[in-house]
Chains A and B, each alone.
Chain A
Amino acid sequence: MLALDLFVNGLIFGLFYALMAVGLAMIFGVLKIVNFAHGEFYMVGAYAYVLCALKLGIPAWVALPLAAVAGAALGWLVERTLMRPLYTGYASWGLLKDEYAVVVTFGLSLLLINLVDKVVGPYPYRGPVLIETSRIALGPILLNGQKLIAAVVSAALLVGLALFLKRSLRGRQIQAVAQNRLGASLAGIDATRTTSLVFAISGMLAALSGALLAPLINPSPDVGAFPAIKSYVIVVLGGMGSVWGAMIASLLLGVAESFFAVYVSYDYRDAFGLLILMLVLLFRPQGLMGEKVREL
């Protein structure tokens, strides 16, 4: 039964990873940059949820959408203030585009961590749970109630995102801009607005991931580093910029890690993921799924 247990737990963690990773993949899709502050979107979501619920006494189910709003606002603000130079004709910059993106997002990550550390304090908070039941039996597997709820909400969000990207006008515009920014804008799509939308959605999903996990992880200011590194591994594994690849790779990584931690080594679990990242980038830079799934 251990194997089944590990499998289910791995899948659940994969769902959490996916919420972060799809946002990172979408940002890479439209701007071809890695957002090194993505873990801090997650952290801000976790804090928004915890502080709303604990300090303002807002019920947990209301605090969750508030955290989503906070994440979306942060993502939108970051795009408006810092990402514009990447695509509005600053081609002759001394500091090149890729370097600018790394420096600014890395700086933003440090800024947010230290701001929260200063304003809220370095101590971890314990978030309120969404459901009081501590153990739910799912056939032979016992699951923590909060974990199950969080997994269900994550799965719903991912399905919602997939439908949004496939079916809705805005979603298709995002796909178009990711495929060809110039072509999309010639076809009358407002690429600038679409990029803002991508950042808002990415920020929202990362924040929701943080908020859903807040009761399980007890957020502290540097809590985002760990899921961020997971997301880098996942977007590389799934093919940089591919949302579908990122979803599949998240589940794969979740399950693989869950088994690796038990059967091989817990301490080296993170190094294992990063090693995969290096190997994929070196030998198969298009990702495991290859070109075919790179629709976005």
Chain B
Amino acid sequence: MSDAPDFWRKRLAIDARAALAVIAVLALVPLGVSSPYWLGVLIVSMYFALAALGWNLLAGFTGQFSLAPAAFAMLGAYTTGLLDYHLHAPLAIGIPAAIAATAALGGLLGWIVLRLQGPYLALTTLSFAEIARVVIGNSYVFTRGDQGLNVPALMESRVGYYYLFVGVLVATLLVLYALMRGRAGRFWLAIRDDATGAESRGIDVVRYKTLAFALSCAICGLAGSLYGTFSQLVSPELGLLLQTGLVIAMVVIGGMGTLTGPIVGALVVYLASEWLREAGNVQMIVFAAAVILVARFFREGLWGIVTRLRSRPSAARGAA
């Protein structure tokens, strides 16, 4: 009893430290790179890293394979956009409102799909995502439909935005680390590994599943809201299934059920996609193939490969 949590905590601590190291490297980038284009690329990859962390909480840690992360990013972005468009609410209200709205909607969705698992859960969340997108895209009067909404910028400076995203990424990571280290995290893992077993041991499955949904969707919503103010435009395209596919690709390639995996996956996939775009627009072919290969042959993703490489030399040393 006493060993298992310690082992988990040790692994989680290494994981969190590695994630912080990656973000620390990211934080140093503007000192050397001043090209607004590349800073913009990195900002967008940090948006994806946030969404990937949010989705990973639900799919990787709690075992609830939702297909709606991009839809929640879109809903978060639209909450901020609509508050500004209709009520001229300042962003200081608009961004927290996006978090609150997506948390509430996510909790509600989680409560609705409580009894569903596997393919049923995937289909229901996919339907929710598509309905949300179709409704927003068709409500011309309220949301301006496919034309999208203009959102005011939070600040002028691109470097400022860059550090805002770095800060939010660190904060999200620390919150997730604290949660995963404590009671909630172990309950989520228990639900993922054996929901019936968890319930029979007295874990309030309803509450913790709903909580995971609310928190995960709120992280995606926050990511979308910040992305909206950065690009100063939100459109239903944010919620396309393709975007969800990208988020899933990032988490699977980086490593599901880890903290470093989603961040590294988002950076690798998005930066590589910029390169591959120049090399003849083959980025989606490469990622789709990579996702299939990783899921088929290296199911722990990049982070899994790294940890295994790290542990192998030491084991060899021990043997010698």
In the complex, the chain A residue whose C-beta lies closest to that of B119 is A34
Contact between A104 and B120, CB atoms less than 8 A apart = no
The answer to whether the Cβ of B127 comes within 8 Å of any Cβ in the partner chain is yes
A95 to B119, CA, bound (A): 14
**B284-307 to A contact mask, C-beta < 8 Å, 1/0:** 110111011001100110000000
Pick the contact of B296 from A98, A104, A106 — CB < 8 Å? A104
> Secondary structure of the A side of the interface?
helix
The answer to whether the Cβ of B242 comes within 8 Å of any Cβ in the partner chain is yes
A170 to B287, CA, bound (A): 38
How many residue pairs bridge A and B at CB < 8 Å?
A: 121
Contact between B126 and A111, CB atoms less than 8 A apart = no
In the complex, the chain B residue whose C-beta lies closest to that of A232 is B123
A274 to B129, CA, bound (A): 10
In the complex, the chain A residue whose C-beta lies closest to that of B59 is A99
Contact between B123 and A104, CB atoms less than 8 A apart = no
Contacting residues of chain B (271-320) with chain A, CB-CB under 8 angstroms: 281-282, 284-285, 287-289, 291-292, 295-296, 299-300
The answer to whether the Cβ of B263 comes within 8 Å of any Cβ in the partner chain is no
- A98 with B299: in contact, given A107-B291, A111-B289, A277-B123 (CB under 8 Å)? no
With a cutoff of 8 Å between Cβ atoms, the chain B residues found around residue A271 in the complex are 130-131, 134-135, 138
Contact between B296 and A82, CB atoms less than 8 A apart = yes
**A158-184 to B contact mask, C-beta < 8 Å, 1/0:** 000000000000000000000000000
Contacting residues of chain B (206-256) with chain A, CB-CB under 8 angstroms: 241-242, 245, 248-249, 252, 256
Question: How many residues of A are in contact with the other chain, CB < 8 A?
Answer: 44
In the complex, the chain B residue whose C-beta lies closest to that of A99 is B65
With a cutoff of 8 Å between Cβ atoms, the chain A residues found around residue B120 in the complex are 240, 281, 285
Contacting residues of chain A (71-105) with chain B, CB-CB under 8 angstroms: 82, 85, 93-104
Question: How many residues of B are in contact with the other chain, CB < 8 A?
Answer: 43
A110 to B245, CA, bound (A): 8
A110 to B249, CA, bound (A): 10
With a cutoff of 8 Å between Cβ atoms, the chain A residues found around residue B299 in the complex are 93-95, 100
The answer to whether the Cβ of B128 comes within 8 Å of any Cβ in the partner chain is yes
The answer to whether the Cβ of B13 comes within 8 Å of any Cβ in the partner chain is no
| Complex interface: stretch among B44-52, B99-107, B110-118, B179-187 | B110-118
With a cutoff of 8 Å between Cβ atoms, the chain B residues found around residue A113 in the complex are 284
Pick the contact of A114 from B116, B241, B285 — CB < 8 Å? B285
With a cutoff of 8 Å between Cβ atoms, the chain B residues found around residue A240 in the complex are 119-120
A104 to B291, CA, bound (A): 7
Contact between A278 and B288, CB atoms less than 8 A apart = no
The answer to whether the Cβ of B257 comes within 8 Å of any Cβ in the partner chain is yes
The answer to whether the Cβ of B172 comes within 8 Å of any Cβ in the partner chain is no
Q: Enumerate 23 A-B pairs (CB-CB under 8 Å) in ascending A order.
A: A28-B119, A98-B65, A98-B119, A100-B299, A102-B65, A104-B292, A107-B249, A107-B292, A110-B284, A110-B287, A110-B288, A110-B291, A114-B285, A114-B288, A118-B282, A268-B135, A270-B134, A271-B131, A271-B138, A277-B123, A281-B116, A281-B124, A282-B124
| 6 closest residue pairs by CB, A with B | A98-B118, A111-B288, A107-B291, A110-B288, A274-B127, A114-B284
Residues of chain B whose beta carbon lies under 8 Å from any beta carbon of chain A: 59, 63, 65, 67, 112-113, 116-120, 122-124, 126-128, 130-131, 134-135, 138, 241-242, 245, 248-249, 252, 256-257, 281-282, 284-285, 287-289, 291-292, 295-296, 299-300
